[in-house]
Amino acid sequence: MAVIALTGCSGAPGVTTSALALLLSWPLEPGRRMILAECDPDGGAILHGLLQGTLGDRYGLRNLSVAARKGEFGEAFWRQLIDLSSEDGKGESPRDRLLLPGITDPAQAASLSSVWKGLAVMFRGIDADHGHDVLVDLGRRGAVGPSGVLAEQADAVLVVVRNTLRCLQAAQSRVAALEERVGHVGLLMINEGPYPAGEVQRVLQAPVVATLPYAPKDARVLSDGADQPRHFTKSALMRAARTTSTLLVQRVAARRARLGPPSGPVRGEVVSRAR
């Protein structure tokens, strides 16, 4: 049971693609769910990437701002989720891998101040009361500013970086600022460049928690809805995502054993918890 925030920096690190790979490969016991929330203030990518615009913009984060003003946040949250789980052997979906799509226009972020706080409370309730896991995609800049409350309330914050000089240079100030703000930052490394994990850790002064391969062809299935090749679930990308998921579960469990889960309400916001 965990709330894990992923964020990035300039240099096209692949935050959303990584988050989707984790969502689709996360180890789930019967009765548990994994929810991926696109909370990037610059706008979500999945509706018109993986889902190719097939659902329009009927679902998503923007609809929660009206619900928050009406005091209907908790109920509205569950209505905005899209089922991304695979069918079981009986041709039915277990509805255990769910997506909250992000906003479609960055201008909509200005109306979401109360939504960020409400989501922080909601995610902690989902985790504590129901044992579900939550991935929060904060994009390149969502871990700072008003949406930064989601990083502050997460069990773990991972900065997605590529081991190239350009990305490492861009990540230095972001990682340092996040470490000062939330205090438990790790790195999810996309293995595109020449620098080994030990060098990346030394430069960024944060641990490389896990590594995903640089696999553009497989990544386009998730980022752009490209045709899924045979045995996609057994590809190097998805195998590494499964390993990463296990490592993240272990990391959160170890942190909670040491410190306990986040406690106390998020300042200025009280919402209904998950059903």
Q: Is the pLDDT of residue 270 over 50?
A: no
The β-bridge partners of 212 are: 190
Which pLDDT belongs to residue 97?
Answer: 95
Q: Which domains does the chain possess? A: 3-259 (3.40.50.300)
Q: What is the mean pLDDT of residues 223-247?
A: 95
Q: What is the mean pLDDT of residues 52-77?
A: 88
* Token couple for 17: 């693609």
Which pLDDT belongs to residue 95?
Answer: 87
Q: Please name the residues in contact with 1: beta carbons below 8 A apart, sequence gap of 6 or more.
A: 127, 128, 131, 132, 133, 252
d(CA 223, CA 49): 5
Q: Is the pLDDT of residue 233 over 50?
A: yes
* Token couple for 255: 């942190």
pLDDT digits (tens, 9 = 90+) for 101-159: 999 899 989 889 889 999 999 998 887 777 789 999 999 989 989 999 999 999 999 99
Q: What is the mean pLDDT of residues 239-245?
A: 96
pLDDT digits (tens, 9 = 90+) for 12-59: 789 999 999 999 999 888 888 999 999 999 999 999 999 999 988 889
* 83-97, 162-176, 254-268: least confident range: 254-268
- Nearest Cα neighbor of 31 from 164, 130, 109 is 130
Sheet holding 3-7, edge to edge: 82-83, 97-100, 34-38, 133-137, 3-7, 156-162, 185-191, 208-213
User: What number of other Cβ atoms are within 10 A of residue 63's Cβ?
Assistant: 18
